Amino acid sequence: MKISKTIQWRSIFSLRSIAFTVIGILFAVLGLQGFLVPNNFLDGGVTGLSILVTGFADIHISLLLLLFNIPFIIIGYHKIGRTFGLQALIAILLLSAGMFFIEIPVFTNDKVLIAIFGGFFIGLGIGFVIRGGGVIDGLEVIAQYTEKKSAFSSGEIILTLNTLIIIGAAYQFGVEVGMYSILVYFTAMKTTDYVVDGFEEYTSLNIISQEADRIKSTIVNDFGKAITVYRGERGSLPGSYELRQDCDIIMTVVTRLEVHRITEAVTKIDPKAFMFVNSIKEVKGGIIKRK
């Protein structure tokens, strides 16, 4: 893939990008200062590594966040794109400045609340910054880069690195802190996924029905969705294996909010229609709603 050498300044300094980035930084600072850092609870990635190192050395976390992320920013700049690299640099500089200049009191001493709400706010922060076009944790960048040079997927690489970080937390701060850090990481990961994908996460809705023509018309004309039709064969049921007939398998890509509405409309047309939904990690091309 050819890396764009043109910097999209309008994208970097657009109102949307700035708003998402600033909101994300504030949430991240709230989660770190109000919950995680004072209690030595770790999130995954560079943020978790920075908290871990503060337990070994008397270095302010704002400096560690910047130093540990610099290599990932350089990789992102050269391997993903210059616009992304600059947006990531701006976001990380703002996070470091926020951790240094903003003071937030500890909200609670309850370990479960610390793990849940600390992970929630740091997840919100990461998610909003990603929506703004940048990152505040460079681990995802190195995972994508390493994936191309190894037999492991980016998810496996991230899981391995985060496991090592959490083991380090258990060694330095105690096993209980390590276990709570797993809860922090899980909460942050799920929150980030929701903020990034939200209600617009795409899914594939597949329909097999005797009323295929009416269903096609409803999806295209009433819901304004594009469809793809596969030629298939229905039948082969227990007790009537020999009975088979040709059929159309209708597939359309929809958001989570649209799935329920379309399945209800299909059910009204054919209560016996067979439907199943597949998750989609990425959508490109075609006629879909652009994020």
Q: Domain segments of the chain: what residues?
A: 9-198, 201-279
Note down pLDDT in tens along the chain; length 291 residues: 445 567 788 888 889 899 999 999 999 999 999 999 998 888 888 888 898 888 888 899 999 999 999 988 888 888 777 888 899 899 999 999 999 999 999 999 899 999 999 999 999 999 899 888 888 887 767 665 565 555 565 566 677 778 888 888 888 888 888 899 889 988 988 888 888 766 556 789 999 998 999 999 999 998 888 899 999 887 777 877 777 788 899 999 887 768 888 999 999 999 999 999 887 766 666 665 544
Q: Which long-range contacts (CB under 8 A, 24 or more apart) does 32-35 make?
A: 32/61, 32/99, 32/118, 32/122, 33/99, 33/102, 33/103, 33/104, 34/104, 34/105, 34/106, 34/107, 34/118, 34/121, 35/106, 35/107, 35/108, 35/113, 35/114, 35/117, 35/118, 35/121
Amino acid symbol at 95 = L
Angle at 284 between CA 92 and CA 123, to 5 degrees: 30
Q: Given this model, what pLDDT does residue 144 score?
A: 56
The two tokens of residue 134 are 């940048």
How many Cβ atoms are within 10 Å of 243's Cβ, its own excluded?
Answer: 10
Question: CA-CA distance, 85 to 80, in Å (whole number)?
Answer: 8
Model confidence, pTM: 0.72
Strands, E, within 4-92: which ranges?
none
> Which H or E element spans position 208?
strand 202-208
CATH 3.30.70.120, applies to 201-279: yes
Q: Which strands, in side-by-side order, build the sheet including 274-279?
A: 228-237, 240-255, 202-208, 274-279
In angstroms, the Cα distances linking 138 to 53, 89, 91, 180, 225 are 16, 10, 11, 23, 37
Question: CA-CA distance, 32 to 99, in Å (whole number)?
Answer: 8
